[in-house]
Amino acid sequence: MSGDLTHFDRAGNAVMVDVSDKDVTTRVASAKGAIVMRAETLARIVSGDIKKGDVLGVARLAGIMAAKRAHELIPLCHPLALSAVSVDLVPDQARHAVDITATVKVAGRTGVEMEALTAVSVAALTVYDMCKAIDRGMTISEIRLVHKSGGKSGTFERP
């Protein structure tokens, strides 16, 4: 894999990468992140005692929808017909956190890293939005790519 930036032309102008000559392959990406909060906030999320509704269910749906619209949010990101998107939100009582994992799959000419990262980000933002009335001190953190496969650059696994 080269270290060259591909989103700039020779004059330094931003461009959408031309992927028309790339092979269509199965591409998968997974991203993770977390939102940390007060213990009481997490307890209310888990018990279903948030006035706006099922926080984890709504955040899961928001993450899936966000993955499908990443190209509308991120300049130069290709629109993709995604094959699958999963978003899992798991409460961690010890850390007073909700851990978020998104996995995105496509048969295409470009990867789905941005879609997975967008899904995690929007799922975390949705948790924040639904709970901000009781806990404005929540922290969204650790959003990172953990897996990528498919395409010419091969597989990436975060250690």
The answer to whether 8 touches 92, Cβ cutoff 8 Å, is: no
List 9, 21, 23, 129, catalytic entry: 129
Helix axes 39-47 and 113-131, enclosed angle (nearest 10): 100
Handedness of CA 113, 115, 119, 121 (dihedral sign): positive
Calpha distance 146→156 (Å, rounded): 8
Backbone angles phi, psi at 152, to 5 degrees: -65, -30
Is 23 one of the catalytic residues? no
Report the catalytic residues: 129
